[in-house]
């Protein structure tokens, strides 16, 4: 895990040195997420989480590549169907999305774009539900997700809306998570 963070930082600093010769943007972003995980015998309700991180966007005309390094804390509130007791499901992860995007509108000050790509998600804090054994969840420390979304850039400010979907179940009777993210960012370079 430490090697991955060091490698990511090295790549980020390498890109900074090339920023003068390439059409590149480097920035920070943060936002809100709403995660749903369907669990057998529980009625899932909406509950928000948060994320923050850094991104690099390399432009190739109307197409761009945008890797990022994010920390995400995700929560879902669920109600036990038998007892009506509310339970919170929480977990944290380091996420590395690599988005390929296309500029739908590319004006000097305003840009509208769509994007899609994979997300490597490393669980840093185990999935927990009060009152349930954590053995209920068969989570690996690393999961693959997919992401699709749209964004708008106004000068150096970015705003993204995306849908992230898990590609693997969390365990027996636990479906893959799905998340809606709202992200606000600022391009430093």
Tell me, what's the pLDDT at 20?
A: 46
* pLDDT more than 90, % of the chain: 52
Per-residue tokens: 87: 């339970």
Q: What is the pLDDT of residues 7-17, one digit of tens each?
A: 555 555 554 44
d(CA 43, CA 87): 10
Q: What is the pLDDT of residues 11-53, one digit of tens each?
A: 555 544 444 456 999 999 999 999 887 777 777 776 789 999 9
Tell me, what's the pLDDT at 137?
A: 57
d(CA 143, CA 167): 8
Contact 70, 92 (CB under 8 A): no
Contact 56, 15 (CB under 8 A): yes
pLDDT over threshold 90, residue 154: yes
Which of 116 and 48 is assigned the larger pLDDT? 116
Q: How many CA atoms does the CB half-sphere of 109 hold within 13 Å?
A: 0
Mean pLDDT of the chain: 83
Tell me, what's the pLDDT at 132?
A: 56
Q: Is 4 helix (H, G, I), strand (E, B) or coil?
A: helix
d(CA 98, CA 66): 6
How many other CB atoms sit within 10 Å of the CB of residue 70?
21
Considering the entire predicted model, what is its pTM?
A: 0.80
Structural domains in the chain, CATH included, are 21-126+140-187 (2.40.160.20)
């Amino acid at each position: 895990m430490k090697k991955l963070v060091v490698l990511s930082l090295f790549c980020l600093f390498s890109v900074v040195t090339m920023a003068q010769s390439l059409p590149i943007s480097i920035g920070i972003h943060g936002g809100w997420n709403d995660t749903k995980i369907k669990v057998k015998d529980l009625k899932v309700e909406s509950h928000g989480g948060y994320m923050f991180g850094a991104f690099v966007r390399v432009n190739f005309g109307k197409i761009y590549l945008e890797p990022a390094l994010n920390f995400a804390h995700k929560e879902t509130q669920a109600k036990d169907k038998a007892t009506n007791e509310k339970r919170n499901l929480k977990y944290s992860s380091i996420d590395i999305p690599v988005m390929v995007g296309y500029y739908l509108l590319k004006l000097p000050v305003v840009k509208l774009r769509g994007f899609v790509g994979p997300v490597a998600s490393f669980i840093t804090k185990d999935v927990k539900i009060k009152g349930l054994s954590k053995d209920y969840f068969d989570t690996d420390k690393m999961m693959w997700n997919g992401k699709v979304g749209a964004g708008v850039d106004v000068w150096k400010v970015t705003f993204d809306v995306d849908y992230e979907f898990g590609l693997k179940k969390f365990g027996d009777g636990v479906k893959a998570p799905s998340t809606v993210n709202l992200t606000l960012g600022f391009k430093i370079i």
